[in-house]
Chain A
Amino acid sequence: GENVEQHPSTLSVQEGDSAVIKCTYSDSASNYFPWYKQELGKRPQLIIDIRSNVGEKKDQRIAVTLNKTAKHFSLHITETQPEDSAVYFCAASMRGFQKLVFGTGTRLLVSP
């Protein structure tokens, strides 16, 4: 089955810096790659996603890139703000939400 690895496990940046979180997946059949943000004690929230027919997607300060050949995808956050502090999970699926496999999570801390 699918296996998703995520790095780093923790990431500390200064406000205004950029943050990059990387994930690799094992199953070349995976075609959907979402990123979730989870603040302490709250639900995971979808912040951006990408499908295998697209190489890059951007939404304001957040972007995701996908390299199908290498089987890895990355989350890029620019101009980080303290409210970006949270745990971020990547995920991969070959068949809808029911087959979503999550990465292990990255705790991002943005210091003012």
Chain B
Amino acid sequence: DTEVTQTPKHLVMGMTNKKSLKCEQHMGHRAMYWYKQKAKKPPELMFVYSYEKLSINESVPSRFSPECPNSSLLNLHLHALQPEDSALYLCASSQDEERTEAFFGQGTRLTVV
């Protein structure tokens, strides 16, 4: 199984809503990542979890709150987002953060209204 599964696939939320994005992998990978991708742009790294601990936060606003409940799951909690936060949010995983082979999930298309 080389799948990284993200839910939901699409999400529309208001600026006062609280929602969560979920990411799951069963490859035994110990590094998991959140990326944000705007249209026609490359993915931008947001967070890295290594062995369930946050190892990198790329100066992401606090309205994005990551959580890694266990080695297979990664969540991204969203609160008080702005319309400019609308983007494709991609999760990825790799065996560990030093390895180069990684797998992306299909992404969650987020629209903030």
Q: How far is the CA of A93 from the CA of B99 in the complex (A)?
A: 11
Q: Which residues of A contact B101 (CB under 8 A)?
A: 46, 97
Q: How many A-B residue pairs have CB under 8 A?
A: 56
Does B97 make an interface contact (CB < 8 A)?
yes
A89 to chain B: closest CB distance in Å?
A: 5
Q: How far is the CA of A31 from the CA of B50 in the complex (A)?
A: 21
B22 to chain A: closest CB distance in Å?
A: 16
Query: Which A residues, 70 to 108, have Cβ-Cβ distances below 8 Å to chain B?
Result: 87, 89, 93, 95-98, 100, 102-105, 107
Name the residue on B nearest A91 (C-beta): B42
Q: How far is the CA of A95 from the CA of B99 in the complex (A)?
A: 8
- Return the CB mask of B78-113 against A: 1 if under 8 Å, else 0: 000000000000101010111111101111010000
Q: How far is the CA of A43 from the CA of B23 in the complex (A)?
A: 14
Query: Which A residues, 33 to 70, have Cβ-Cβ distances below 8 Å to chain B?
Result: 34, 41-46, 49
User: How many positions in chain A have a CB within 8 Å of any CB in the partner chain?
Assistant: 22
Query: Which B residues, 28 to 57, have Cβ-Cβ distances below 8 Å to chain A?
Result: 31, 33, 40-43, 45, 48, 50, 55-56
Pick the contact of B97 from A41, A46, A97, A107 — CB < 8 Å? A97
Q: How far is the CA of A104 from the CA of B37 in the complex (A)?
A: 12
Q: Which residues of A contact B33 (CB under 8 A)?
A: 97-98
Interface residues in chain A, defined as those with a beta carbon under 8 Å from any beta carbon in chain B:
32, 34, 41-46, 49, 87, 89, 93, 95-98, 100, 102-105, 107
